[in-house]
Amino acid sequence: MSTLSDLVYAQGRSTEADVDWLHRLVSDGQLLADLAFADIVVWVPTLDDSFIAVAHARPSGAATLFYRDIVGDRVRPQWRTQVREAFQSGRIVDSASPDWFEETPTRVRAVPIVRELGPGGAAAVTVGVLTRHTNLGETRTPSRQQITFNDCADDLFGMISTAEFPDLSAPTAPRRGAPRASDGLIRLDVDGIATFASPNALSAFNRMGFDDELEGESLVEVVSRILPAKRQVDESLPVVVTGRAPWRADLEARGVQVSLRTVPLRERGTRIGAIVLCRDVTEIRHQEQELITKDATIREIHHRVKNNLQTVASLLRIQARRTHSDEAREALTQAMRRVSAIAVVHDTLSEGLAQNVDFDDVFARVLKLVAEVAAAPNTRAQTRTTGRFGTLPSEYATPLALALTELVTNAVEHGLAGQEGDVEIAAVRTDDVLEVRVRDTGVGLPEGQVGRGLGTQIVRTLIQGELGGTIDWHTLVGSGTEVTIEIPMRYIARGGS
């Protein structure tokens, strides 16, 4: 399905600012649908003087009229005149008589979506039309809550038609567990007095220790009474509970956490009150805290593993220096280098919460380590890396780092032994495969030696066994060596990107 942006831009009549405004409005489409107990559809004009639906929200507390998706459909003939009139006049237009939709009586309201062109609403432009489709087939005597919800919806529709909603000063990214109308709603007047509180809202405040009725009370005073003494509170809480700004805040008392969101209500620029949505998010916050604790624990584990590996590498280095056998010293030095390469990966993992690593950064550190350790007194190796590896999951970063460590070490120690030369590591990543080529300008490997050494066996095991890839050596005596590694992206894509 096409996104809102795709559908709007395809009509050729809207600007980027129009699309941003529509996105902000649509992000509150569910709130509007729940308050109005009706389907909410957003329409934008087309080049042939018609309209196309770009967004749709179904009510959670009433039956929907549109069981099939209406997004992408052109406006139906019975709504076209009403939608066009709202768009051209900039006024809210109600249907004169009940409209029938698939044998169901409905009432349609068309609300012009007006965007302010500058601060203060000095100038505005109509960018689309919002329609409310109320199902009259389930008409029953409305409860006080339903009447209040509808009044709130009418206030918001009026604000939409005067470019006062959505509010550009409101936070764009809702916090996890953002409250909805069904979670709890408090209606405040201009003085911050609660004129209505839904049962769910009252229950949330009761759990925090408020045992009276919210209606008729100042929400600021209620919050002051239930807040524990000397407890640090959210700095935006005073503005939220007075209903003066479209912000969010968390309120905590008696081990209960309630998330609050305020939607100020205005009429032609004059503040008339506010809607305060509230939701008990105690369990959500506990889960978030557990995740933070687990993330911190994992980071600490990686940090300790890195420290332990560095200790092991230091012990191997000390032992190598004290060893009189050249063969034993070489074996210990290689072991130290391999352990250090693994430590680099764990060091990177300990710096962030994600278990993915920027392999370009990891390999740059590994390459510096290898070049320093592997270079002999008479060997001068210039190493360089081209291309990008990208982000890899830790289960692939470790074996790849080890394999490349072995290949670069072999290129420096054997290919460039006793001479000056270059070692190039070229990475090419596509959607299907990660290809890495390690080239040196050394003497090349004599025929029959490929695959005999321990390092080569380690590389084969890591690339073929752990990464499901392939490795191939190209050798030309006197012209250097090129090793090609190919790793299928179907394995990497599960953990990295």
**Predicted pLDDT at 193:** 95
- Burial-class residue 377 by CB neighbours within 10 Å (0-12, 13-18, 19+): exposed
How far apart, in Å, do the first and last CA atoms of the chain sit? 24
**Predicted pLDDT at 304:** 82
**Predicted pLDDT at 88:** 94
**Predicted pLDDT at 396:** 82
Q: What is the pTM of this model?
A: 0.65
Instruction: Report the alpha-carbon distance of residue 260 to residue 222 in Å, rounded.
Output: 14
Whether 281 contacts 184, CB under 8 Å? no
What are the pLDDT digits (tens) for 457-481?
888 888 888 888 888 887 765 577 8
Bridge partners (DSSP) listed for residue 476: 480
Whether 280 contacts 207, CB under 8 Å? yes
CATH topology of domain 4-160: Beta-Lactamase (3.30.450)
325 CB neighbour count, 10 Å cutoff: 9
Return the exposure string of 255-275: e unless at least 16 CB atoms fall within 10 Å of the residue's CB, then b: ebbbbbbbbbbbeeeeeebbb
**Predicted pLDDT at 494:** 47
What are the pLDDT digits (tens) for 110-131?
999 999 876 655 578 999 999 9
Instruction: Report the alpha-carbon distance of residue 402 to residue 446 in Å, rounded.
Output: 24
Same topology between domain 4-160 and domain 181-280: yes
- CATH 3.90.1150.10 given to domain 378-497: no
Distances (CA, A) of 410 to 373, 375, 456: 12, 10, 9
Whether 486 contacts 470, CB under 8 Å? yes
Q: Verify cis geometry, omega within 30 degrees of 0, for the bond prior to 112.
A: no
DSSP code for 120: G
Distances (CA, A) of 360 to 194, 222, 309, 371: 57, 55, 21, 16
Alpha helix ranges (H) inside 107-185: 144-160
Residues 6+ apart with CB under 8 A from 420: 379, 380, 381, 382
Distances (CA, A) of 124 to 15, 26, 163: 14, 19, 7
**Predicted pLDDT at 496:** 43
Residue 236 backbone phi and psi in degrees, to 5? -90, 0
235: tokens are 């700095």
**Predicted pLDDT at 449:** 57
> Which is nearest to 133 in space by CA: 74, 198, 184, 83?
83
Return the exposure string of 384-393: e unless at least 16 CB atoms fall within 10 Å of the residue's CB, then b: ebeeebebbb
* Distinct helix (H) and strand (E) counts, the chain: 14, 18
**Predicted pLDDT at 112:** 97
Residues 6+ apart with CB under 8 A from 213: 197, 202
- % of the chain surpassing 70 pLDDT: 87
Instruction: Report the alpha-carbon distance of residue 169 to residue 162 in Å, rounded.
Output: 16
CA 358 to chain centroid: 18
- Burial-class residue 166 by CB neighbours within 10 Å (0-12, 13-18, 19+): buried
Which CATH class name applies to 181-280? alpha beta
Whether 344 contacts 400, CB under 8 Å? no
CA 485 to chain centroid: 33
Residue 165 backbone phi and psi in degrees, to 5? -145, 130
Q: Where exactly are the structural domains of the chain? A: 4-160, 181-280, 286-353, 378-497
Whether 226 contacts 208, CB under 8 Å? yes
CA atoms within 13 A of residue 24's CA, in its CB half-sphere: 21
Dmax (CA) of the chain: 101
Distances (CA, A) of 87 to 22, 40, 70, 161: 15, 16, 20, 10
Task: Give me the torsion for CA of 399, 405, 411, 416, rounded to 10°.
Answer: 180
42: tokens are 């957003």
**Predicted pLDDT at 262:** 93
Instruction: Report the alpha-carbon distance of residue 259 to residue 242 in Å, rounded.
Output: 15
Which portions of the chain are predicted below pLDDT 50?
A: 493-497
Residues 6+ apart with CB under 8 A from 47: 11, 12, 13
3-state DSSP call for residue 351? Answer: coil
> Which is nearest to 40 in space by CA: 116, 105, 125, 135?
135
